[in-house]
Structure 1
Amino acid sequence: MSNSLINQEKNVSLSLEDQKKLEYSGYRFLGSKGHSAVKICHWTKKSILNEGFCYKEKFYGIESHRCLQMSPAVPFCHQKCSFCWRDLSLTKTKWVGDYDDPKTIIQDAIHAQNKLLCGFFGNDKADRKKLEESKKPNNAAISLAGEPMFYPDINDLIAEFKKQDFTTFLVSNGVIYEKLANLQNEPTQLYLSLDAPDKKTYVDLCTPQINDAWLNINKSLETLNSFDSRTCIRTTCVKHKNMFDHENYAKLIDLANPDYIEIKAYMCVGYSRDRLTLDNMPTFNEVIDFAQKIADLTGREITNDSEISRVVLLE
């Protein structure tokens, strides 16, 4: 490798080889520092073909064909969750390399998404109106991979999305508590993952890479009620692993007092198949049963659901 390439590799979060590996899976990297990427969501494609849409469209009115699925921190996370569909061998627990600015990330994300969707213009089954609208996405799902709170300019990224008339749905695992608590520019909807009712289950299932992860998540739950934005607790149900102790789940949810609760089934896809099996994927009825018990204990109601995505909404 030449000296110029060696120096280039030192300043990026993911090596060019690892970036290329993810590009085979549909990722497109943004900027020049190898930490942010976009990937076309399955439901974006389905929506353009009028073959269905994401549950977020049913629950919250987000148009699937105008949704930008992205991450500013692809390889960075303090957890290695067994149910994660991503390649955990690439996961880093400390920021590595320089970072791109928010304007560059958003500009490149829109451009990359348009390039990835250009083939639909030659598809007779594609909805022409939706295709034209897809050129100007208006919602950012900041949830593709990694923990977005790792990105040093996360505040400015959210602000820049808002400046460009995007709504933002940001998903956090809550481990980087202080940064989350001090978030100056709030997303349209803030998701906090709650995938265990107690520390032991959390450690077994999510494999935290730092000692205080569970404590930090609890602190994040405590601060969630202070946000002005819409808030949501999301629980990924993994059969035989975390679908028990509803009472403790309810206590933690009451602590956070979110606007919404999403109870969603683990889906046996991607790299998670190396760690779990189809037997760990609950049926839709099992998800409903779990959600109803949480609803009863928290004084909430099931207000919506999507059977194809195996997800239930509580309010």
Structure 2
Amino acid sequence: MDSTGMLQLPEELLYLWHSHRTEVLLSAGILFAIVRLAVHWRRRKSKEVLTPLALTPTDEKPLAIPLRREQLADANHYEAPLSRPATRPKAGPKRVTGTRKTKPSSNDVLAAVEHIQPLVFYYTLGGSTKTYAEKLADSLKASATSDVLAPEVLDLAETEYDEYFLSSPRKSGTVYFYLLVLPTYNIDTNLSAFLAHLDETHHDFRIDTAPLSGLAGYSVFGLGDRQEWPTEQEGFCTQAVEADKWMAKLTSRKRGFPMGMGDVRSDVAQRIEEWTTGVSSVMSDLAQGRGLGEGVAGSGAATESADEESADEQDDVPETAPKKVRRKAVKRSRTDDLEDMKAPIPVDFTTTSKPASKIPQPPKPMVPESSPTYTSLTKQGYTIVGSHSGVKICRWTKSALRGRGSCYKYSFYGISSHLCMEATPSLSCSNKCVFCWRHGTNPVGTTWRWTVDPPDLIFAGMKEGHYKKIKMMKGVPGVRAERFSEAMRIRHCALSLVGEPIFYPHINELLGMLHREHISSFLVCNAQHPDQLAALGPVTQLYVSIDASNKDSLRRIDRPLHRDFWERFMRCMDILKQKRFTHRTVFRLTLVKGFNIEEEAEGYADLVERALPGFVEVKGVTYCGTSTAAGAGLSMQNVPFYDEVKTFVLALEAALQRRGLDYGIGAEHAHSCCILLADRQRFFKASAGDGVPSWHTLIDYPAFFRCLESGEAFGPEDYVGAPTPEWALWGKGGFDPRDERVDRKGRPKVIEVVE
């Protein structure tokens, strides 16, 4: 010890500690780990001794069977087996046995139903709504069958809510369909109490989330006064809209038909008649066991964020699937891009023929059902018709059905988007444009080397696919019943979906089938097939994509497969000039920043001078956000702002004026970033009524069909339509005031128009 009484360690021991402390600590840690593992192993061994082997008879306690087995089934858990062992092991984990309880489909449920019972609910203060409800019941009663019974009319003011809106009515062999005819009041009434009941039922934790899911379906019709409350935001049919929202939640998305709306001062009788026809058709389908049909879920939101869905969306693989499975599915759905292949393509189809010694192979389908291309296109929303055609519902069609605006074609030419079918008879193209929405997923080629489907098969398949996709929208909230009914009759066809429509060998026969059913035709080509363009028959409007003003830019942007692409392009310009007297011709300029905007207005003006089209559409490119587009050198930085598009259009207009070409800005659609230049001498003229000159960019479609059926020669001036609407002219924005523009979240969007 030292003077303080502390114990002093020998210097040798202290030296050994500092020299070997690492080894000592590591050895101690290893020893501690070995002890812990030994203890754990001994405990595990003792448990295994206590746990009986499989199939070993043991004394078990009886299991408590739940009083309500339907609670277990409704919870979508494992269903209890019919026979249970008398006892269970005293020790060891519980074993869950039985089979997975799957939720029956709506069609399986309806297969056992004998009758559909419509119930018409209404609420009224003055009696007018009761009158409409009774007329509705009379109409349904007149069409009643053995499957669809005569409707019952119930007044919500005298109805016990818990009897009908707390759970689905039950009757052997009968399933109920609810029809709600509701006005809107700006005062406190029993209707407000009814809506509050639906709200409370949905949020009551003691009640099932969808207590009315046992219904066959439902639909709501609202009555309002547009003179007092012009829009839904200002009060038009707001209580009916709220009822439709809660019913969608309580029935688990069983909206059978889009909500109808009628103005009591004008069109309520017509609207309720259209709605009644649609509802009757739906109940007839239900009675025949077809259910509500496949489609978008009733409470789901329609795609509203982009012109087209991204081409590299997630595959239809459940999120719960293992990551390896999802990665495998994504890899399987990809298609190879011919231009990205390392080895050069040995054959040039434009200049080289196959050796005569080889036996030519029989033609194959362009898009076989077993191909990755078929998988990719169908995943993107296409319906493949035959072996080389397709149809797809446009996002503007969805928007127009919901009263959120039509595309630029409505502002420019009077085409309502919900009446338009977007299709193509050829999914193949001879270009690989950097801005193509389907980059790398559609076939390419310079000559037709596939099997050819007859035009009647293509036409029937297009219509069937389009109507099927329209029906998928009937459960989407916000879809207007009158527009849904109108959409079931195609009036326009845009042959511009993907690929090259003019590439199809029987394009004229297909156009004739469209025209015989009074469906207007808008055909888009890429100016790479001059022979087919020269042989093209009558078409309502002929588009030619002009994506560059010179050879180098065209090669970089369109990336054509033809070696003589520029010569083909210029030949098409000359053919277009000849057709300007027989066809309504349009130049379609897609502006891509960094590719074809800077200092190219003069070059575009030269092309316009050479072809003299009736119209020139200038549109900013839409970036779809795909990895393939990024690999082609395209990003959001290449998307021009609308101000940049306007600046370019003004520069192009000035360049045309310097060449003595009298083109002016006829219309615009700011929402699509699109502006229309038109030939002033042909489409700016005095109106029949007041004699004041104005733009006439709209099309008189009945006049077009009259000219076509007369058998006499006619030109685009023979079916010029009414004056361009005031709201579509330059400086007005071009958005239909009858519709409501919304943002990506579906909220109303306020647009300030600067004169």
Q: TM-score normalized by structure 2?
A: 0.39
2:585 aligns with: 231
User: Could you say what secondary structure the match of 1:308 adopts?
Assistant: helix
Q: Report the Cα distance in structure 1 between the residues aligned to 2:525 and 2:424, rounded to whole angstroms.
A: 11
Please state if 1:261 is matched with 2:652.
no
2:443 aligns with: 91
Render the CA deviation track for 1:61-119: whole Å, top value 9, x for unaligned. Answer: 01100100001111x21211111111335332132321222222121111111111213
The structure-2 alpha-carbon separation of the partners of 1:47 and 1:89, relative to structure 1 and needing over 3 Å to count, comes to: closer
1:305 aligns with: 668
Please state if 1:146 is matched with 2:499.
yes
Paired amino acid for 1:138: R
State the 1:253 CA deviation: 0.8
1:130 aligns with: 483
1:5 aligns with: none
Decide which of 389, 392, 396 is 1:36's aligned counterpart.
Answer: 389
Q: Report the Cα distance in structure 1 between the residues aligned to 2:631 and 2:392, rounded to whole angstroms.
A: 22
User: Could you say what secondary structure the match of 2:473 adopts?
Assistant: helix
State the 1:144 CA deviation: 0.3
Paired amino acid for 2:506: D
State the 1:30 CA deviation: 1.0
Q: Report the Cα distance in structure 2 between the residues aligned to 1:239 and 1:156, rounded to whole angstroms.
A: 39
CA contact (8 A) 1:86 1:270 kept: no
User: Could you say what secondary structure the match of 2:672 adopts?
Assistant: coil
Provide runs of 4+ in structure 1 moved above 6 Å.
none
Render the CA deviation track for 1:263-304: whole Å, top value 9, x for unaligned. Answer: 000111154344310000000010111111111122311111
1:26 aligns with: 381
Please state if 1:166 is matched with 2:524.
no
Render the CA deviation track for 1:180-203: whole Å, top value 9, x for unaligned. Answer: 0121x2210000111111101111
Q: Determine which structure has more spread, i.e. the larger CA radius of gyration.
A: 2
Paired amino acid for 2:395: H
Decide which of 186, 196, 213 is 2:548's aligned counterpart.
Answer: 196
State the 1:124 CA deviation: 4.5
State the 1:120 CA deviation: 2.3
The structure-2 alpha-carbon separation of the partners of 1:56 and 1:273, relative to structure 1 and needing over 3 Å to count, comes to: farther
CA contact (8 A) 1:169 1:187 kept: yes
Decide which of 258, 276, 291 is 2:649's aligned counterpart.
Answer: 291
Decide which of 100, 108, 114 is 2:467's aligned counterpart.
Answer: 114
Decide which of 634, 640, 648 is 1:282's aligned counterpart.
Answer: 640
Unpaired runs of 5+ residues, structure 1, are: 1-8
CA contact (8 A) 2:592 2:640 kept: yes
CA contact (8 A) 1:237 1:265 kept: yes
CA contact (8 A) 2:420 2:491 kept: yes
State the 1:169 CA deviation: 0.5
- Bigger relative contact order, structure 1 or 2, given CA contacts below 8 A and separation 6+? 1
The structure-2 alpha-carbon separation of the partners of 1:38 and 1:264, relative to structure 1 and needing over 3 Å to count, comes to: same
Render the CA deviation track for 1:230-259: whole Å, top value 9, x for unaligned. Answer: 110011000011113211110111111111
Render the CA deviation track for 1:154-183: whole Å, top value 9, x for unaligned. Answer: 111111111111101000011001110121
Please state if 1:209 is matched with 2:561.
yes
Q: Report the Cα distance in structure 2 between the residues aligned to 1:78 and 1:25, rounded to whole angstroms.
A: 21
State the 1:226 CA deviation: 2.0
CA contact (8 A) 1:197 1:249 kept: yes
Q: Report the Cα distance in structure 1 between the residues aligned to 2:648 and 2:578, rounded to whole angstroms.
A: 27
More displaced 10-residue stretch of structure 1: 270-279 or 154-163: 270-279
The sequence identity of aligned pairs, in percent, is 32
Q: Report the Cα distance in structure 2 between the residues aligned to 1:297 and 1:102, rounded to whole angstroms.
A: 43
The structure-2 alpha-carbon separation of the partners of 1:85 and 1:270, relative to structure 1 and needing over 3 Å to count, comes to: farther
CA contact (8 A) 2:524 2:545 kept: yes
CA contact (8 A) 2:433 2:439 kept: no
Q: Report the Cα distance in structure 2 between the residues aligned to 1:86 and 1:25, rounded to whole angstroms.
A: 9
User: Could you say what secondary structure the match of 1:120 adopts?
Assistant: coil
Q: Report the Cα distance in structure 1 between the residues aligned to 2:449 and 2:399, rounded to whole angstroms.
A: 36
CA contact (8 A) 1:13 1:95 kept: no
More displaced 10-residue stretch of structure 1: 232-241 or 219-228: 219-228
Q: Report the Cα distance in structure 2 between the residues aligned to 1:274 and 1:311, rounded to whole angstroms.
A: 26
State the 1:215 CA deviation: 1.1
User: Could you say what secondary structure the match of 1:225 adopts?
Assistant: helix
State the 1:20 CA deviation: 2.1
Q: Report the Cα distance in structure 2 between the residues aligned to 1:98 and 1:283, rounded to whole angstroms.
A: 43
User: Could you say what secondary structure the match of 1:269 adopts?
Assistant: coil
Please state if 1:48 is matched with 2:406.
no
CA contact (8 A) 1:13 1:98 kept: yes
Unpaired runs of 5+ residues, structure 2, are: 1-361, 658-662, 679-755
2:127 aligns with: none
C-alpha RMSD of matched pairs (Å): 1.5
State the 1:127 CA deviation: 1.2
User: Could you say what secondary structure the match of 1:91 adopts?
Assistant: coil
Q: Report the Cα distance in structure 2 between the residues aligned to 1:115 and 1:284, rounded to whole angstroms.
A: 35
2:115 aligns with: none
